[in-house]
């Protein structure tokens, strides 16, 4: 990210800066998520960018207080949410599922989530790759193990 100048907004609660195309960008740190919210202000004028940034800061703070999430959930969190939802269907007459079917869904989705994490680590780390049979992924610790 190439930035030309950073300007603090509302007492350093947020920052605006210009990207390489001279368009102003907004950036704010969200403590609960431990991540930054970044958004284009879609203007090349500084005064208009400062005004939009102040409005955007207030809007984001209100959304956070109302419980809105700005970030996607992980695959494992999504799998856990779905499994909790499906657990309610176990034993419900006519529309539910049996315990064995729930365990099958549970097993398959947990394998899928672990596989996704493994694929992420194998593409990021050259020491853990599909091509090497001596490398395995430990599903509990979420780490690559070399035999």
Per-residue model confidence (pLDDT) at position 147: 43
CB-side neighbour CA atoms (13 Å) of 101? 10
**Are the C-beta atoms of residues 97 and 86 closer than 8 Å to each other?**
yes
Q: What percent of the chain has pLDDT over 70?
A: 78
Helices marked H in 66-134 — which ranges? 75-87, 99-124
Q: Model's pTM, two decimal places?
A: 0.56
Q: How far is CA 85 from each of CA 15, 80, 123, rounded to the nearest angstrom?
A: 40, 9, 32
- Would you give the end-to-end CA distance of the chain in angstroms? 40
Q: What is the pLDDT of residue 123?
A: 63
Reading the block at residue 92, the tokens are 């419900």
Count of alpha carbons within 13 angstroms of residue 84, beta-carbon side: 6
Top pLDDT among 51 and 35 is at: 51
Query: How far is 146 from 127, CA to CA, in rounded Å?
Result: 8
């Amino acid at each position: 990210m190439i930035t030309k100048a950073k300007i603090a907004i509302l007492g350093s609660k947020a920052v605006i800066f210009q990207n390489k195309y001279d368009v102003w960008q907004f950036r704010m740190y969200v403590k609960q998520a431990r991540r930054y919210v970044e958004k284009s202000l879609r203007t090349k004028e500084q005064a208009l960018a400062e005004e939009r940034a102040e409005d955007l800061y207030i809007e984001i703070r209100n959304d956070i207080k109302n419980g809105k999430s700005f970030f996607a959930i992980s695959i494992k969190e999504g799998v856990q949410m779905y499994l909790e939802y499906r657990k309610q269907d176990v034993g419900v007459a006519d529309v539910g599922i049996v315990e064995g079917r729930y365990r099958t869904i549970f097993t398959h989705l947990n394998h899928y989530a672990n596989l996704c994490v493994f694929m992420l680590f194998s593409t990021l780390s050259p020491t853990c790759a599909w091509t090497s049979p001596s490398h395995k992924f430990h599903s509990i610790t979420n780490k690559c193990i070399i035999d």
